Amino acid sequence: MRALQELKNSEVVPIVYKMLKNRKHTMTVVNSVTSFMTRPSHILTWSRFSVQVVMVVLVLLFGAIPLLAMRPVVYTPRLLPLQAAPVEDHVKQHTAMSVARLERLKANRQLQLEQNRIPPDIEQFVPEAYQGQIVRSLPLAPGDRAIALTFDDGPSPYTVQILDILQRYDILATFFVLGQVISSYPEILQRIVAEGHLLGNHTWSHPYIVNSEAEADREIERTAEVIYDYTRVRTQLFRPPGGYLNNALTPYSARQNHAITMWSVDSSDYFLTQSEILDQVLAEMHPGAIVLLHDGGGPRHHTVAALPQLIETLQQQGYEFLTVTELMKRSQAAIAQSPDSEEF
């Protein structure tokens, strides 16, 4: 009996066995035998058979019979840590920046200022008719099949791959960037501008609900400031996170004469596979469309993989790729020629 009691308490060396789907569990001798004596049908379960038999034999060798009077040990499975590849769960993982690197960037910018190598301000203004307006798609002249690709939540390492693809096909796009990510990837932001793409403001921290004007000011103006600091770009494009309009961000942005840029084609690339992204976009595509894609905020390898085929298919269908502001200008010209057309 004493030996059995010692065995009962010896949880430090549990018996480990594998059940179906290779999931590891642990079971003590007493738990196993108690389970067997109270529910004998468990012995018929093939995945437990060999373990149950061994444990029963061990207990019988110790001469222990009155097991039911003993309290079974509570068994709690321990989950083993997954050895998965690192995933960019959200943009907050990319905001850390070492003090040393920040100081180097500041020193480099000061040197550029002293040597007059800072480029002049780049004014990415939108046509006046769209300032303070909510824009989802843009009407075009009959036969015009222009569209705008837009990417949210960057910059990130995926942005580099997307820029390479856009460069290969010689097309331009619009990137709605997050302020808190920029300091981690300033060179990528600068490359976006250098290659002729447009920047848009996507807030500092991607909040879905902003209740106060003060918070809206911080989210939008901090992002505008860091965009300007690294690129000299002043943008009038703004996209609210998640497309949520019923909060303080929208009226604040409208008062700044931003074009509140939504979308009419949602790729849903944040959860679809490569082929599903392609099918989704092609099914919803139309002239004057603003297409929502993502280059940050999570793993975007499906977006990167789908993009070349998406571009080639749309080109075969006669679509032309413009930035959002160029699409606005094209639309404005079409409206001017046909005053009865719907504006926005």
Closest C-alpha among 311, 22, 268 to residue 167: 311
pLDDT tens, position by position, 127-155: 999 999 999 999 999 999 999 999 999 99
Looking at the structure, do residues 181 and 45 belong to the same domain, yes or no?
Answer: no
Virtual torsion, Cα 253, 256, 258, 262, nearest 10 deg: 10
Residues 201 and 299 in one domain: yes
pTM: 0.67
Secondary structure of 269-336 in HEC code, one letter for each residue: CCCCCHHHHHHHHHHHCCCCEEEEEECCCCCCHHHHHHHHHHHHHHHHCCCEEECHHHHHHHHHHHHH
Contact present, 291 and 265 (Cβ < 8 Å): yes
Rounded (5°) CA angle 27-32-33: 155
Same domain? 167 vs 313: yes
Identity (one letter) of the amino acid at 80? L
224 with 165, same domain: the answer is yes
Instruction: Count up the domains in the chain and report the number.
Output: 2
Catalytic residue from among 152, 153, 269, 295? 152
Looking at the domain assignment, is residue 182 inside a domain? Answer: yes
Does 76 map to a domain?
Answer: no
CATH code for position 261: 3.20.20.370
Show the domain range for 21: 2-69
CA distance 235 to 199: 7
Residue 217 burial by CB count (10 A; 0-12/13-18/19+): exposed, middle or buried?
A: middle
Q: How far is CA 39 from CA 52, 68, 84, in A?
A: 12, 12, 38
Which is more confidently placed, 143 or 42? 143
Q: Are residues 198 and 54 in the same domain?
A: no
Confidence of residue 123 (pLDDT cuts 50, 70, 90): confident
The C-alpha atoms of residue 50 and residue 63 are separated, in whole angstroms, by: 20
Task: Evaluate if residue 47 carries a pLDDT over 50.
Answer: no
Pair 61, 197 in one domain: no
Whether residues 34 and 118 share a domain: the answer is no
- Beta strand pairing call for 146-154 and 174-177: parallel
The one catalytic residue in 269, 294, 295, 302 is 294
Could you tell me if 109 and 198 lie in one domain?
yes
53 and 102 assigned to the same domain:
no
> Residue 69 — pLDDT band, cuts 50, 70, 90?
very low
Active site includes 294? yes
Average pLDDT, the chain: 78
Examine the residue annotation and report whether 279 is marked as an active-site residue of this protein. no
149 close to 173: Cβ distance less than 8 angstroms: yes
| 253 against 339, higher pLDDT | 253
Q: Is the pLDDT of residue 108 over 80?
A: no
Indicate whether 50 and 194 sit together in one domain. no
